[in-house]
Structure 1
Amino acid sequence: MKRMMLCALIGASGLTLTGCKAPFNEIPDFVQGEIQHTSYDGITDDLLTAGLGATGLASTPAPAFADPLNPTPAELRRLAIYNNYRALVDTSAGGGYGAFFGPQVGSGGEGLIPGDEFIAFMTVPGSDVPVTVMAQVPDSFDPKSPCMVTAPSSGSRGIYGAIGTAGEWGLKKGCAVVYTDKGTGTGAHNLATNTAQRIDGTLSSTDEAVQFRADLTDGERAAFDSRWPDRFAWKHAHSKANPEADWGHHVLQSIEFGFYVLNEKFGRDLGNGKTLQTINPKNTLVIASSVSNGGGASVRAAELDTLGLIDGVAVSEPNVNPEVDRSFTIVQGDGPVISEHSRSLLDYTTALAVYQGCANQAPAIRESAPLNAVFNPPAIGENICNSLANKGLVSGATLDDRAADALRILNEEFDIQPEQNLLAPVHFGLAVAQSISMTYANAYGRAGVEDRVCELSLAATDTAGAVTQLAAAAEAALFSVSNGIPPTAGVNIVYDNAEGQPTNLAASASPSSSQQDYGLDALLCLRSLATGRDTVTGTALEGPDAELASAIADGIARVRATGDLQGKPAIFVAGRSDAILPINHTSRPYFALNQRVEGKNSNLRYYEVLNAHHLDVLNGFPGIAGRYVPLHHYYFQALDLVWAHLTDKQPLPPSQVVRTVPRGAITNPLTAANLPAIDPSPDAGNRIVFTDNQLRIPE
């Protein structure tokens, strides 16, 4: 540190010194355009709750716009924070909000946090697609003891997508929090009107910086709109950038942006128009964090970190696609040995998209899965089963037999945990696997909106499923309401090849079956592209389909994680019942791969939480609340443990299974008895170990 200061002073004097690079604060080269800066007083508005406070975040209805057709940036921000917080955190009574987590916990009052917010566009080398980056600096930040937490958005969400997870923990700790949308976010381009979102969410149809517009000339866009009217291009799906391949770089750049912001605010003014960087990686504690896709992005950042920017990692349910290493196996209790682990996201998700609609009708699931009948009409499920049977993809003479076979295929052939079976139906009803399959097939293959992969497009639809214009008020609110991956905020997946006319995928009749089977032909097409083989015939794809499948395979290869965290102290927490990112293909094999790659130098711990899953927000619903606990609580514990390890040298607890106790009924509030802490010295029967090339997980 002393040498860096000496170099800076010598450089400022006009002299030169070999080996010195004056650490003056400069805007990073990757920042595009102006940096917008807003201060929040913590009374009328704030960094964490947008002035709503803990009570406002948990209340309904949502904040409204004074003019629904012309919301202000502040109104859009407030609603975006409200929706993004509630999308990831269960704010219902008795579910832990206000007791174990929430803005008010540990803060008192309503938990409003004053401070400064800086937001800008950036790009990564080789791409001109804008990525949003943001730094929040709470007034409680101490420049004498600086800390920073990364908060890349979960899922495909926008810049506030991790506000309630890494954002809340970091801001309450007095740390700067650096966010990025990872090249996803709303980024909705209305191809009929050429309208898109500015960085603040307001709409623009002029030639100015926006979050995303499709790579089409005006003539190409007009021609497309003439043939396929009222369609949207979406950033994650249609940017032709495969943003996931750069998620780690996005996070590293967000950290650099954070250091720039901190030094602009706290650096030493040398009086010559230059500022000395006094806050730097050597004196700042940096934790790479977030959940789901954001967690995966922070893991990739830690793998790519050659500059020593990151000190530790704490992530929850990370979307990691570990490199395939079949030299090790996975076993849970006395269960089957799993060797076909580490399937890609697109592989297992297209399988869920194809088979889950039928599996929902299996006798073991049909009546016991919460909200199954509400989200999944039995007639559609039966049609899906019939279509699969007619194509030879499931066996059985009756609906029960066919549905049971579909469930068997998912659990046994794809090694998807049986613990997820009761939650999978509601996820299918919410189109989770279907939307991921469509978006990621496009993204991995770098396809444009004009390619309409598998005859799928995006548009608003009416009650009959036909394409219609998105209401003006709905489009004005997209920045605040969309989760970045249709169906969302009134924009649906449309099967252009549906029998009759282009139709909302969920209501589509397939040409091959002439029955309403959730557009199964389109889902089978996506599955074929994921494997490179026709799902029905088993033959290799040919022509353009083979080329696209090859491009998709290359895109998947580019997002594979190495397992090398370079010895950084790290914690993964995951719920055994995760029905979106099956743990046999994500956290479990990544942990094992890390043990193979780093061996005795590994500082990664893996905590698998029983009765926990991917979307805590569902815990507020009857039938789900009584069965599951908030994984969010253990994510915050993981952050606390990494913090204590880095600041006080407290050892990280060994990898273990955490045995929670469901509350039994939504009327029973969660207590400490339901949520046992991660054990610093777990019994042997709870320890997760990697030995003899096998990851062994207690039952």
Structure 2
Amino acid sequence: MDLRRRSFYGAAVPCGGAVSKRIVLSFLAVTAACSSSDSNALPSFVASRSVVTTVYDGGSDDLLTGGLGAAGLGGELPGNSPPPPPGFANPANPTAAELRKRAIYANYRALVDPTFNGGYGTLYGPNVDVNGTPTFNPGKIAGEEWLAYDDDGSGRVNVTMMVQVPDSFDPNNPCIVTAASSGSRGVYGAIATAGEWGLKHGCAVAYTDKGSGMGVDDVQNNAVDLMDGTRDDAADAGTRSNFTANLSDADRAAFNAATPNRFAVKHAHSQQNPERDWGKNTLHAIEFAYYVLNQKFGTAPADAGPNVERGRRYHAGQILTIAASVSNGAGSSLAAVEQDSQHWISGVVAGEPQVQVQSTSTIQRGGTAVVAKGKPLYDYTTLAALYQGCAAGAAVYATNAIMNPNLSPSQITNRCAGLKAKGLLTATTQQAQSDEALQKLHEAGYEADSDLLHSTHFSTYATPAVALTYANAYARASVKDNLCDYSFAVVDSQSSGMPVALGSVAANANGLAQIFGIGNGVPPTGPIESINNKDPRGPHRDQVSESASTVATDLNIDGAACLRGLWTGTVDGSGAALSGTLLAQSNALKSGVQQVLRTGRVHGIPTILVQGRSDALVPINHASRAYYGANQMAEGVNSPVVYYEVTNGQHFDFFISLFAGYQTRFIPLHRYVIESLDFMYAHLKTGAAIPPSQVVRTTPRTSGNNLISKSQNVPDIPATPAAADQITFSNGTLNIPE
């Protein structure tokens, strides 16, 4: 039975009964008629004293835009400045409300192209209605917002959850959309993607920061973030702290003496490998949403106060629930559906998922087997962190210089020379070395479609930052370990790059106070920089540091090679076998990677994967293609999973607005995440067929001055794709059209 073609959308759901995994639900109003004496107890994983509820009127403040409205979040035209970010009355001591507003602004803009010509306000945005029609409505959404910690009772996990319930929520026709944060962002990290779609459709939105959100411990000054983004002394905060490094007083004193003015960051230094639990975090967010909805709409005496437990109106599986997000949030959604033993989830939409599989099928593109597939994130990212900076000088950039806006010829030359010195390249000239570095990326599974993205992904430190954060996370390293001689600090200036005390530069102190509103969870972020502790001149900001082995400003080839070596088990990624501390760290890291591998089994739940073919952060051969192949191997002809591979789509829609070269080469993938959500919702509500797996053909704009349009640039996904565009699976092989 192909669930993409069949829907039991007239099925009644028994009160208190679990929903069959094989039923695609419409969730008729029959569920609303259910009554139960079950008490709506707070789930055991919710830290009870952490629950905070706020009502937003949809005018001065709201759930989606923080009161800024569509015009306050984006819509700038070419040559014009973006809407100004919301400020702080006291930059050194921002309020929780100010931090929330700034977090919404920053996270929204970071996940989409916020320019008018790029699609904001026409294809997507708060003012675009559920039918895709632009309006003059500012898009503010009134409702309630519930925040709480998801914890194991220790107060050291403290995953932040949030449930937003719009006033348009219909208790007789309920729905939930999950919005696990992308990247390592805080709890508002998916507000522009799954959050906006869910709120517009009157659904409750269940957010989670996945235990990798904005937790920064100022180790020198013993100060930490709280759930609402304000900061406090770690001792005073206690279990209210979002993250406090696991250091004894003696450890902290010794660390500060040896490496003063450093910071621990939650995703990197929690020593809990957060990714292991991203599926559980997503399921907990859904369960918390059920609790919230039962508190709002469950039965209770007329005079009952807000904290009285209601009768439970909704039981597991009785609310249409789409697990959705992008990037790490999408990977969390897939992990959740794999682990969903209580049938919370009705459907999944995973945009550009960062997901790692235990094994996968053979994958062919245009009839030719791809050279690498199904590699773990740490493997391909540490290789890219080594080679991208050198590959930025490859011949393909000679006629596309606009795609290398940041790296200087000397930086490229020095990086290539450093790779040659370590035996990681064999060519003898910079040009040949750059071409060889690009070939190394191809051999690792990066498609040629991504060639022109390597320079910006490296120069913005997207790739090196991921490599460093995940090295620490997978190895469950402490901040005191200074893994591969890296640390995090604030610096005197970007160009000088020397670590300094927090208070010596006002902008640094203010930036740390505002980190919840301006940061993304992966240094470099806000004022916090990645530091090369082993620079021969003393610790320096990584990008301007010298490597001890080369005494050259080569973007810390020593650090990048060390991170690579933790995966290969060899010195510098190619030399002698590791021993001692590095070997122990390597073994711990590989064990951590094993904890995050997924099976590809979605247990019959309709699932859509959508990813850009040009993705250079999470290459398709290791992500969506690999997951789809793994699913087809596991679930066969009855698989309910479809995969849309979008040409000219890449990982960072925001980069389309940031770099001119992107505007004529790439399209906003977000447009197809929205369409996939529309498909899934219609399927679950009415049984409408989901279009089959296919390559979606797009055409970038000819100029950033042109307004993007569906007809010319980003057409609808066809219900019946041309034969040449169909993605198929047969005889253990996934076949992707050219």
> Do both share a fold (TM > 0.5)?
yes
Choose 553-562 or 614-623, whichever is displaced more: 614-623
Contact 2:726–2:737 (Cα < 8 Å) also in 1: yes
2:460 to 430, 449, 461: 430
Report the secondary structure of 1:290's partner residue.
Answer: strand
What is the letter of the counterpart of residue 633 of structure 1? R
How far has the Cα of 1:163 moved from its partner? 0.5
Shift of 1:60: 2.5
Query: Is residue 2:573 matched to residue 1:545?
Result: no
The within-5 A match list for 1:488-499 is: 488-499=525-536
Return closer, same or farther for 1:128/1:656 CA change in 2, 3 Å cut-off. same
Aligned to 1:370, the other structure's residue is in SS state helix
Q: 1:642 to 1:4 in 2, by over 3 A?
A: closer
Distance in structure 1 (CA, Å) of the matches to 2:720 and 2:153: 46
**Who is 1:51 aligned against?**
67
Superposed, which structure 2 residues align to 1:197-276 within 5 Å? 197-205=225-233, 206-208=235-237, 209-269=240-300, 274-276=309-311
Percent identity at matched positions? 44
2:718 paired residue number = 679
Tell me: CA distance 1:543–1:26, structure 2 relative to 1, closer, same or farther (3 Å). Answer: same
Deviation at 1:184, TM superposition (A): 0.9
* Separation in 2, partners of 1:77, 1:217: 32
User: 2:692–2:719: 8 Å Cα contact kept in structure 1?
Assistant: yes
Secondary structure at 1:321's aligned position in 2?
coil
Stretches of structure 1 lacking an aligned partner (at least 5 in a row): 6-19
Q: Taking structure 1 as the reference length, what is the TM-score of the superposition?
A: 0.95
1:352 aligns with 2:384: yes
**For residue 278 of structure 1, what is the aligned residue in structure 2?**
313
Counterpart-to-counterpart distance in 2, 1:525 and 1:105: 48
Tell whether the 8 Å contact from 1:329 to 1:339 is kept in structure 2 after alignment.
Answer: no
The CA distance in 2 between the partners of 1:90 and 1:440, in whole Å, is 26
The answer on whether the counterparts of 1:4 and 1:22 sit within 8 Å (CA) in structure 2 is: no
Alpha-carbon separation, structure 2, partners of 1:46 and 1:21: 33
8 Å CA contact retained: 1:441, 1:530? no
Q: Is the 8 A contact 1:4 1:23 kept in 2?
A: no
Report whether the alignment pairs 1:580 with 2:609.
no
Contact 2:655 2:662 in 1 (8 A): yes
Q: How far is the alpha carbon of 1:671 from its aligned partner? A: 1.1
8 Å contact from structure 2 (residues 571, 577) kept in 1 = yes
AA of the residue aligned to 1:278: R
Among 161, 171, 187, the residue aligned to 2:199: 171
Matched, 1:481 2:518: yes
* Partner in structure 2 of residue 331 of structure 1: 364
2:99 corresponds to which letter in structure 1?
L
Question: How far apart are 1:539 and its partner, in Å?
Answer: 3.2
Deviation digits for residues 210-231 of structure 1 (CA, Å, limit 9, x no counterpart)? 1111001223212211211110
The residue aligned with 2:78 is none
Equivalent residue, structure 2, for 1:465: 497
Report SS of the residue matched to 2:661.
coil
Aligned match of 2:215 in 152, 167, 187?
A: 187
Residues 393, 216 of structure 1: alpha-carbon distance in 2 compared, 3 angstrom cutoff: same
Alignment partners' CA distance in 2, 1:568 and 1:469: 52
Tell me whether 1:342 sits opposite 2:342 in the alignment. no
In angstroms, what is the RMSD of aligned CA positions?
1.7
**Offset at residue 369 of structure 1 (A):** 5.0
Give yes or no for contact 2:112–2:653 (8 Å, CA) kept in 1: yes
Please say if residues 270 and 276 of structure 1, whose CA atoms lie closer than 8 Å, have aligned partners that are also in contact.
Answer: no
What is the CA–CA distance in structure 2 between the aligned matches of 1:484 and 1:381, rounded to whole Å? 28
After superposition, the Cα gap between the structure-2 partners of 1:114 and 1:45, relative to the gap in structure 1 and judged at 3 Å, is: same
* Aligned partners of 2:646 and 2:696 also within 8 Å: yes
Deviation track 1:299-330 (CA, whole Å, cap 9, x = no partner) reads 100000010100000110000001124xx311
CA distance in 2, matches of 1:111, 1:279: 29
Q: For the residues of structure 1 that align with 2:528 and 2:465, how far apart are their CA atoms?
A: 11
Query: How far apart in 1 are the matches of 2:630 and 2:574?
Result: 34
Quote the residue 2:431 is aligned against: 400
Equivalent residue, structure 2, for 1:642: 680
Q: For the residues of structure 2 that align with 1:81 and 1:566, how far apart are their CA atoms?
A: 34
Which residue identity is paired with 2:45? F
Q: Distance in 1 between matches of 2:225 and 2:623?
A: 33
Match of 2:698 among 649, 660, 666: 660
C-alpha distance in structure 2 between counterparts of 1:121 and 1:370, whole Å: 45
1:124 and 1:249 in contact (8 A); partners too: no
Cα deviation for residue 363 of structure 1 reads: 1.6
| Superposition deviation, residue 61 in structure 1 | 1.9
- Structure 2: tracts of 5 or more residues without a match: 1-12, 18-34, 75-81, 503-507
Give 2:172's aligned amino acid. Answer: K
Deviation at 1:127, TM superposition (A): 8.3
Structure 2 letter corresponding to 1:186: M
Match of 1:16 in 2: none
CA contact (8 A) 2:568 2:574 kept: no
Distance 1:695 1:466, change over 3 A: same
What is the identity, as a one-letter code, of the residue corresponding to 1:695? Answer: L
SS in structure 2 at match of 1:96: coil
Q: Which residue identity is paired with 1:219?
A: A
Aligned to 1:101: 124
Letter in 1 for 2:259: W
Corresponding residue pairs, total: 680
